[in-house]
Amino acid sequence: MNHQVLTDELEAVARSAGAAIMDFYGACPRVKLKTDGSPVTAADNAAEAIILAALAKQASHIAVISEENERSHELQAPQRFFLVDPLDGTKEFLKNDEAGAFTVNIALIEHGQPVLGVVYAPALDRLFAGTVGSGATETCKGKRRSIAVRSPPAEGPVAVASCSHRDDATERWLAENDISDTISIGSSLKFCLLACGEADIYPRFGTTMEWDTAAGHAVLRAAGGHVTTPDNKPFTYGKPDFRNGPFIAASGAG
């Protein structure tokens, strides 16, 4: 299937999953803790069921690694596979505040790199989609526009950082690079703010999983940005346990 056609279809899937999540938003769903201590709710599971059923129908020949399907974490990553986080930013979801910084993430990985991705923030009605080689878009309140990274402003780059996982290493990196203007936001929206030109750089030193980053990374790549390790090496997918190391996401070619 053509990558752009698949991206378009996944937008509809992400919207359906987002609608299921919103059915639970503000309803104080019961929270369980997974073996790694992270929270999971009925909203995570409902969204995942929708996504997995859709992928099984649309692309049954492609393996799926999904956050809430722990059996899939035991797979050895093939050359082509989906990475799914049905509710990225569960902690932000549980806050039930006006920020609404939680997302549905769906990405396709080929040969270690994300080639397409969809990130949907249902509480904000912002849907970002990107196909590497074809560009990236944002659809908000029914209006669709092309997006691309910007050149950093003359007064200096704007960084995005995690709301729930900001650490001392991030603060040191920002200080060492003389970056004082920062935006705090949750989930993979951090990648998307870079992709649509609202920010310029996203340093991350704490642990993330591949399903946390792949969709946002794809959107950023499609918009002209890149993600590398802090020592400027390629940032790849299909690692053991699907666990990420530190990375720097930024605007500009790379």
Same-domain status, 199 and 232 = yes
Same-domain status, 27 and 114 = yes
Same-domain status, 135 and 176 = no
Count the domains in the chain. 2
Of 92, 115, 147, the one marking the end of a domain is 147
Q: Assign residue 41 the CATH number of its domain.
A: 3.30.540.10
**Average pLDDT, stretch 37-60?**
93
Same-domain status, 114 and 171 = no
Note whether 189 and 118 are within 8 A (CB).
Answer: no
Structural domain contains residue 154: no
Same-domain status, 58 and 173 = no
Quote the pLDDT of residue 218. Answer: 98
Q: Which pTM was predicted?
A: 0.95
Quote the pLDDT of residue 254. Answer: 42
Quote the pLDDT of residue 131. Answer: 97
CA nearest neighbour of 203 among 168, 241, 238: 168
Element (H or E) spanning 113, and its range?
strand 113-121
Question: What are the Cα distances from residue 209, in Å, to 86, 212, 244?
Answer: 13, 5, 5
Q: Assign residue 192 the CATH number of its domain.
A: 3.40.190.80
- Return binding residues for substrate: 67, 87-90, 212
**Average pLDDT, stretch 8-17?**
97
Element (H or E) spanning 42, and its range?
helix 42-58
- Return binding residues for Mg(2+): 67, 85, 87-88, 212
Domain that holds residue 111: 3-147
Residue 166 banded pLDDT, cuts 50, 70, 90: low
CA nearest neighbour of 96 among 33, 29, 50: 29
Same-domain status, 80 and 196 = no
- Return binding residues: 67, 85, 87-90, 212
